[in-house]
Amino acid sequence: MEISEIIPTDGIPQRIYCNQCKTHTELAYTNFDEVVSGITIRITGLPTLQCPACGYQQLPDRSRFAVVHLHDEATKKTSNKVTVDRKKIPETYGFTQVPFIYDSDDYNYLPGLYRSFDVGFLQPLFFKRQVLLKYDNYPGYRVQFASTTYGQIITDEDDYISFGINRHGNVVMWLGDVAKLPDSEQYYLRSENIASDHALGSEFYDGQIECVFTPRTKEDELFRLRSEFLDKSFKKCGVSLGHLEAAALDLALSFNPPVIDTPKERRHVADTLNKIYLESLDNGAFDRVVASLGAKSPGTGSLKRLQTILQTLAPKDDINKLMSPLYVLYDLRVAYSHLTSGSSSPHLPSVTARLGLANDASLQDIYAKLIDGLLVTFEGMGKVMETGSST
């Protein structure tokens, strides 16, 4: 290996993406053992950027500079060998008196984080995922998702902290942002703070550092609209009409569109969508809002009460049509709940008919139509909460 291969010459800032497959790399440690322009350089525990997809490794700029520096020192001493056992020296950045757990190697070696001003502001902090559940259920705070892995914790004063969820399911925030919270909230966060897993690559990183936003899938867009509807309903009604439950968040993060069409997959799809978009709604909150509006619901179920609220707020709109996909989703779960191989459900023709499909429609066709319908529903319900009309 030549020293010219170590020194970047293109003048382009290093990025977190794998040079081979463009996947987000993660910070890892390796034993560097190379002959660099005639000098054997051995470094134990050298930080590297490793791709979790293809395994390719590349050196962060700071590691490159370390190799170049050792080569220069060996050249000055006319030595043909240098061996270093890297000792990690943790750095602390202030900002807060709360003793958060973090690894300064993330800040120093993951591309795009270091700044010559506000040093350490973009130090990543990692948390257990359940930290979001508290904020979604705690007075004075709301959690709003831009996608299933990127969002904001919002206060009643409309201050906010951005967060991401990485590929390991852990929540990531910036030290400088967290330090703006009251001490009491910082101590709560500290109770859910975990050691770094060095996996910062995410929509959060792309949006915050690269200013690049990944095109949303329909599933991400639907989850965003659900979050937006709940946020607008809170502002309109003064109460949250749904909460983020651990099971619903886990399902949203892991859920993928159906690939195969089997009775088991049909049950899975229907159950999952129900848990995320129906069972996470708060029927008790609906009842209180109905009462506060002086309205009377024709039923005690959550969908009937939600329909009453929307119809009261938008009396000129066809709320029945707007909410149809939610009723279809509920009926779909009923239709598939006892489905076995070779069997059929008496409820299914009603579901497919309302979706404009044939009775023997495939799961993929049913799913596509249903997701499109739910997108329209949650967008329309959000508009009702905001403007009094779904159009």
Residue where a domain terminates, one of 186, 208, 230 = 208
Tell whether 92 is covered by a domain: no
Domain co-membership, 238 together with 380: yes
Residue where a domain terminates, one of 17, 51, 85 = 85
Tell whether 19 is covered by a domain: yes
Strand arrangement, sheet containing 160-165: 141-147, 150-155, 160-165, 171-174, 124-127, 193-194
* 107 and 190 Cβ atoms separated by less than 8 Å: no
Number of domains in the chain: 3
Domain co-membership, 184 together with 237: no
Tell whether 73 is covered by a domain: yes
Residues present in the chain in total: 391
Q: List phi, psi (to 5°) of 231.
A: -65, -45
Domain co-membership, 237 together with 362: yes
Instruction: State CA 164 to chain mean position distance.
Output: 5
The rounded distance, in Å, linking the Cα atoms of 92 and 95 is: 9
Tally Cβ neighbours within 10 Å of residue 321. 12
Tell whether 213 is covered by a domain: no
The rounded distance, in Å, linking the Cα atoms of 64 and 55 is: 19
Tell whether 117 is covered by a domain: yes
Give the pLDDT of residue 342.
52
Residue where a domain terminates, one of 181, 208, 235 = 208
Domain co-membership, 279 together with 186: no
Domain co-membership, 184 together with 267: no
Nearest C-alpha neighbor of 23 from the set 159, 195, 188, 199: 199
Domain co-membership, 38 together with 15: yes
What kind and span of H or E run contains 136? helix 131-137
Tell whether 98 is covered by a domain: no
Quote the domain boundaries for residue 234. 218-387
Q: Indicate which CATH number applies to the domain containing 21.
A: 3.10.20.860
* 253 and 145 Cβ atoms separated by less than 8 Å: no
Domain co-membership, 239 together with 336: yes
* 247 and 350 Cβ atoms separated by less than 8 Å: no
Give the pLDDT of residue 249.
84
At a CB cut-off of 8 Å and minimum separation 6, what does 215 contact?
Answer: none
* 64 and 42 Cβ atoms separated by less than 8 Å: no
> What are the CA-CA distances from residue 111 to residues 43, 205, 315 (Å)?
21, 10, 53
Tell whether 111 is covered by a domain: yes
Domain co-membership, 139 together with 244: no
Strand partners, 49: 27, 58
Domain co-membership, 138 together with 48: no
User: Using CB atoms within 10 A of its CB, is residue 259 exposed (0-12), middle (13-18) or buried (19+)?
Assistant: exposed
pLDDT tens by residue, the chain, 391 residues: 888 888 766 667 788 999 999 999 999 999 999 999 999 999 999 999 999 999 999 999 999 999 999 999 999 999 999 999 999 888 999 899 999 999 999 999 999 999 889 999 999 999 999 898 888 877 778 888 988 899 999 887 777 899 999 999 999 999 999 999 889 889 999 999 999 999 999 999 999 999 887 778 899 999 999 999 999 999 999 988 987 777 788 888 888 889 888 888 899 999 999 999 999 999 999 999 999 999 999 999 999 999 999 999 999 999 999 999 999 999 999 888 865 555 566 678 889 999 999 988 999 999 999 999 999 999 999 999 999 999 8
**DSSP code for 100:** -
* 73 and 82 Cβ atoms separated by less than 8 Å: yes
Domain co-membership, 12 together with 120: no
Tell whether 353 is covered by a domain: yes
